[in-house]
Amino acid sequence: MKKLLLLPILLCCTLFCSAQFREQLNTKASISFPVAAQKGKSDQNNYWVADTGKDSLAMHLMAMTLNSLDYDLSAKAIADNYDKPEFIDALIGGMVGEKAHIKELNRNKIFAGKAKGYAIDMINETPDEEYPYTHMYIRFLFSGTTIYMLGAYTDEEEANAKIRDQFFNSLTIKP
């Protein structure tokens, strides 16, 4: 009898511990956060942020949707410039500015359904109040005139790799 009573409790604990919080980014895309995200708005852009903790193992996660037309960038202009390094350099520069202490480690092309983009991994050699994390992982994905920007920021790269990868891989974009 005791075993039967423990089963529902264990099931609830398992579901609670592995809970994901799905956020609808727009009519075509959604992403899962490991904890509840807070939604906000910056200029015309919607964003969602979530923090997995407050200690050295904390990870800050962010998702943002941008309308490229707000930046005078058409879907054709994105397609025409996608393979040019200076195009993604401009996006990175718009995000982190000209910070000498933030260095790009890796840049790879990525895909999510029909959306294509870039994965950029950076190291912040001197964290400060504006950029407090050592490891910065950014994903830009382009779908028509929508730019999806995802970020995962942490001081503990290896400890948070699974959370980071699950977050990035949870993005779904409908055609």
Burial class (CB in 10 A: 0-12, 13-18, 19+), 27: exposed
pLDDT at residue 8 is higher than 80? no
What is the predicted pLDDT for the residue at 61? Answer: 96
Round to whole Å and give the CA distance between 57 and 47.
23
Q: Where are the domains of the chain?
A: 20-173
The pair of structure tokens assigned to 16 is: 């609670």
Local confidence band at 93 (pLDDT 50, 70, 90 cut-offs): confident
Residue 90 CB-density burial (10 A; 0-12 exposed, 13-18 middle, 19+ buried): middle
- 135-143 and 146-154 strand pairing: antiparallel
95 versus 53: which is more confidently predicted? 53
Q: Distance (Å, rounded) from C-alpha 63 to C-alpha 48?
A: 5
| Residue 5 per-residue DSSP state | H
Give the span between the Cα atoms of 29 and 175, in whole angstroms: 9
Q: Which CATH number fits domain 20-173: 3.30.930.10, 3.10.20.600, 3.40.1000.10, 3.40.50.620?
A: 3.40.1000.10
Adjacent-strand bridge partners of 64: 47, 149
Q: What's the rounded Cα separation, in Å, for the pair 41 and 35?
A: 19
Question: pTM score, two decimals?
Answer: 0.84
- Give the mean pLDDT of 37-57: 87
> Residue 16 — pLDDT band, cuts 50, 70, 90?
very low
